Structure 1
Amino acid sequence: MFKGILITKDGAGYRAEVQQIDEAVLPDGDVTVRVEWSTLNYKDGLAITGKSPVVRRFPMIPGIDFAGTVTQSSHPDWQAGDKVVLNGWGVGETHCGGLAEVARVKGDWLVPLPKAFTTRQAMAIGTAGYTAMLCVLALEKHGIKPADGEILVTGANGGVGSVAIALLARLGYTVVASTGRPAEAEHLKALGAETLIERSELAAPGKPIGKERWAGVIDTVGSHTLANACATTKYRGAVAACGLAGGMDFPATVAPFILRGITLYGIDSVMAPRSVRQEAWERLARDLDIGKLNSVTREIGLAEAIQVGAELLDGKVRGRVVVNLAQ
Structure 2
Amino acid sequence: MMHSAPPLPIVRSVADLRAQIGEWRRQGLRIGFVPTMGALHDGHMGLIREAASRADRVVASVFVNPTQFAPHEDLGRYPRQEAEDAAMLAGAGCHLLFAPDVETMYPPGAATTIAMAGPALGLEGDFRPQMFGGVALVVTKLFNLIQPDLAIFGEKDFQQLMVVRRFTADLDLPVEIVASPTERDGWGLALSSRNAYLSPEQLEIARRLNGVLAEAGVAAASGRPLPGVEKDAYAALLKTGFDRIDYVAVRRAEDLAVFRNQVADAPARILAAAWIGKTRLIDNMAI
Higher helix share: 2
Higher strand share: 1
Give TM-score scaled by structure 1 length: 0.28
Give TM-score scaled by structure 2 length: 0.31
Question: Could you say which structure has the greater relative contact order, defined with CA pairs below 8 angstroms and 6 or more residues apart?
Answer: 1
